[in-house]
Chains A and B, each alone.
Chain A
């Protein structure tokens, strides 16, 4: 009996841990999944033997519940371990719709400079949208959570102060003043995110390199106040040739004249969405309930131990 119940509990706990702490590589290891699958096979065999010795319908029903629960949770766990896609992080521009295979479409919020990280909506076929924030949300066989990533809001004006259109022909969306800084560049030992954008009206291509407040503080001539980030703008013409006075630093979101333009770069946070594969929550919930109910039923249906004649005699 002990190994039967222990096996069921091990399966239930292991799969519950996968749901509660998703995203670990262990869950996809072959040996881990072989062990889980082996338990899914042997627990019903042990259960059958135990049911054969059990007295009464109630006890046998409890054993059946434990077996069914173990099978349900175990299959969900093994399916997640062997067939689920790799964990992924989805990055989207404000307003962008990003399709996630097998799940739906992530709709990234419009650019916001609010302090709180905005939520990303998951639109699913035949189901209501799910708002994904910093708290993990379960969506069937996936767990989603939004985490902040650095972004830079840019604004461009000509020398007369007229606003200019910003385009990102190489970016995820064509029209956007929000740079997602998905590339990395090393300058003086610092890993710095960078991105680029075009100003078609001025025939200029601009590279923006982001400095966090800590990195900006290390720059000798940055003129940044403590806690201020900075954006280094490098302006080229449409043939990628540097233009005169084409390098300048915009610190603390202040505008800077560079290459005949006035540019402003403001550091901000924008959400990205981690999509982690997890055992199907409904299957695990049903399975866990069956295991718990079956365990309780099994323990309650055990006959109380009768004292041995020897103990009665006090020997």
Chain B
């Protein structure tokens, strides 16, 4: 009996110690911030309107690789990056790659005028409440997020990208298919 009692006490102590110590010893992945922190998560989806007043959503692009670029007309790096995004969209449309520009917080007129001036032909969405900027953890503008064909965020970039960086990111997404 004495021996069983001893073992029972040891076993219970171990169980209690495991429960009690768990929050102090469980290690978590190192904290990341910004759009890169969303990599591997399902891309958050909620409806917006585009610059022509139509209802749009990321859901519509399931099955495509989406290059989502958050921008605003007052942001000089966004302006500099736009022609490269247009080139990327044009060159990869037949390969199931969609480029979407999400304007952060501006009016449809301003967004359309900006896109027209730069001869942008890819879809422009209007995020008047800046929810995409929040959800995709933008640290600044521009912010670019690559979403794979299953709707999973593959990568997030803070700041402007070169055309080569965009191509490399898209190629990575295609390789992971």
Contact = CB atoms under 8 A, between A and B. Distances in A.
Interface of A: 44, 57, 60, 64, 67-68, 71-72, 75-76, 79-80, 83, 93-97, 99, 101-104, 110-111, 125, 140-142, 161-166, 173-177, 200-201, 279-280, 282-283, 286-287
Given A141-B22, A175-B130, 5 more contacts: A44-B9, A64-B5, A102-B23, A165-B104, A280-B19
Contacts of B8: 64, 68
Contact of A125 (B24, B28, B72): B28
B24 A102 contact: yes
A75 B134 contact: no
Contacts of B141: 174-175
A68 B8 CA distance: 8
Interface string B26-66: 10100100000100000000100000000000000000000
A68 B9 contact: yes
Interface string B137-158: 1111100000000000000000
B128 to A, nearest CB: 6
A111 B138 CA distance: 16
A270 to B, nearest CB: 13
Closest 5 CB pairs of A and B: A175-B133, A165-B105, A95-B134, A201-B74, A102-B23
Contact of A175 (B1, B24, B134): B134
A283 B16 contact: yes
B17 interface: yes
A166 B141 CA distance: 12
Given A68-B9, A280-B20, A95 B105 contact: no
A280 B23 CA distance: 10
Contacts of B138: 173-175
Interface residues of B, number: 43
Contacts of B106: 162-165, 201
Contacts of A161: 107
A81 to B, nearest CB: 11
A173 B137 contact: yes
Nearest to B105: A165
Nearest to A51: B5
B19 to A, nearest CB: 4
A235 B53 CA distance: 32
A282 B72 CA distance: 51
B112 to A, nearest CB: 11
A310 to B, nearest CB: 38
30 contacts: A60-B1, A64-B5, A67-B9, A71-B13, A71-B16, A76-B19, A76-B20, A95-B135, A102-B24, A110-B134, A111-B131, A125-B26, A141-B22, A142-B23, A162-B107, A162-B110, A165-B106, A165-B130, A166-B105, A173-B134, A174-B133, A175-B141, A201-B72, A201-B73, A201-B74, A279-B20, A280-B19, A282-B19, A283-B16, A283-B19
Contacts of A101: 28
Contacts of B12: 68, 71-72
A143 B113 CA distance: 51
Contacts of B19: 76, 140-141, 280, 282-283
B22 to A, nearest CB: 6
B21 interface: yes
